Structure 1
């Protein structure tokens, strides 16, 4: 929720005071509901993702997240009828197969954690498709900063009841921590600032490439996070699990190459 509040504040300052980009108003009720839907999907993905971390190790969580391009391809076809070449769809098959392989050999596998993690992954894919519509549609095109300006406060309002229910004493706990160590304030501000930059970059990549490309790029982060998780938390991994994750990453690489070839062919 802190991230969404910071995104609202930074976007407002960048647009209204610094005038980095022109301010854009919401043009219709339809556009408003699309932005609200984007906010709700984002919140669903975040809540499911954080919940899954209670039941699954970070490494396996990131491995599941690597299947996001698969879901993005499906949602792109269902929502905006965007078809990829047969080679691109074929390249996504190892992505799914690798996760099936890793799931069957995960020593800390938890069914509920797995399901909510898949839900988070699908939500992240759906979000990238919807934000792509809002950023590139000729009739309803918004600049990345303006979209973030509208989406962030909506997401904050949606997350508020969850925050109060799950972390009702978070404000008091933060104040106590700040009294003992004022450096915590610097860390929170820095964290919120980075969150704004990440979300803004996320939107800009979607606008200038595609939703599917965004999710494939995100898998580089997943690979690094999985390795760091094993090194820090020492969670057990199996040879089969590592092989499954490797197959998934290989599928992502194959997808990237297939996309390049399909673009060259199209031109």
Structure 2
């Protein structure tokens, strides 16, 4: 709904701020902070997407509100999904899909009903698909729907699996890089003209993604070294190799 009230460049630029909202929600909900290097590495990623998608920024008041609300919900969904798979619940992506798919289906049907899309689909079935026209026949339509559903299922499986392994913030960073990949594929497949500013934006975003990856890998390496040092110190203090339990007050 929000994309009908805002221009595509504005929507993409606002969506590029999802990593910032993700870090903010992590701080508010779990009191978790990231290193200064991680915060700084997000700057070229967001700035690069802004340049790569720069265009006519138009929006309505409601579209502006809905777009930012969508960004907040996208960040929240990524965080909650990660916690459901890595926290105390430790759900698999199969379990999440099994529980959420019926609710998502119901939500989509209600939304289609309220927006008139369901009635338009009924008219399509009556006037075109089953009217015997040469443009649409049932079998190709069913194959297209099956292919679309299969791709959607594969997308959810890969998204949940990656979220569990890489983390919520990394998922939002990859989403920004995906926007640049979409622009490049549009130029290759559909001969979309890319200006010098667009190309510079893509390069800056990719460079920012590389910096972010280096920072995160270095942070994980330091955390492992710190944990190993603590374990070694504990073992040195206790010759039997086991740490004494801490007495509770």
- Give me the TM-score of the superposition, normalised by structure 1: 0.67
Q: Establish whether residue 111 from structure 1 lines up as the match of residue 59 from structure 2.
A: yes
Indicate how the Cα distance of structure 1 residues 147 and 187 shifts in structure 2: closer, same or farther if over 3 A, else same.
same
What's the CA shift for 1:241?
5.0
Q: Structure 2: how far apart are the matches of 1:114 and 1:228?
A: 28
Query: What is the number of residues matched between the two proteins?
Result: 214
Task: Tell me which of 119, 131, 134 is aligned to 2:81.
Answer: 131
Correspondence for 2:174: 217
Q: Is the Cα–Cα contact under 8 Å of residues 47 and 205 in structure 2 kept in the other structure?
A: yes
Q: Is the Cα–Cα contact under 8 Å of residues 7 and 58 in structure 2 kept in the other structure?
A: yes
Q: Structure 1: how far apart are the matches of 2:17 and 2:110?
A: 30
What's the CA shift for 1:131?
0.8
Q: Secondary structure at the match of 2:34?
A: coil
Q: Establish whether residue 165 from structure 1 lines up as the match of residue 153 from structure 2.
A: no
Structure possessing the higher radius of gyration over alpha carbons: 2
Q: Establish whether residue 121 from structure 1 lines up as the match of residue 78 from structure 2.
A: no
Q: Establish whether residue 56 from structure 1 lines up as the match of residue 7 from structure 2.
A: yes
> RMSD value over aligned CA atoms?
3.0
Indicate how the Cα distance of structure 1 residues 63 and 230 shifts in structure 2: closer, same or farther if over 3 A, else same.
farther
Task: Tell me which of 84, 108, 113 is aligned to 2:34.
Answer: 84
Q: Is the Cα–Cα contact under 8 Å of residues 82 and 164 in structure 2 kept in the other structure?
A: yes
Task: Tell me which of 93, 96, 112 is aligned to 1:147.
Answer: 96
Q: Is the Cα–Cα contact under 8 Å of residues 45 and 176 in structure 2 kept in the other structure?
A: no
1:120-161: CA deviations, max 9, x gaps? 3332221100111111112x2222111111112222223333
Unaligned runs of 5+ in 1: 1-46
Correspondence for 1:39: none
Task: Tell me which of 123, 137, 159 is aligned to 1:202.
Answer: 159
Indicate how the Cα distance of structure 1 residues 185 and 178 shifts in structure 2: closer, same or farther if over 3 A, else same.
farther
Q: Structure 2: how far apart are the matches of 1:255 and 1:141?
A: 27
Q: Structure 2: how far apart are the matches of 1:53 and 1:247?
A: 29
Q: Structure 2: how far apart are the matches of 1:265 and 1:93?
A: 23
1:174-233: CA deviations, max 9, x gaps? 524443323011001110111011112211111222111222233343222123345677
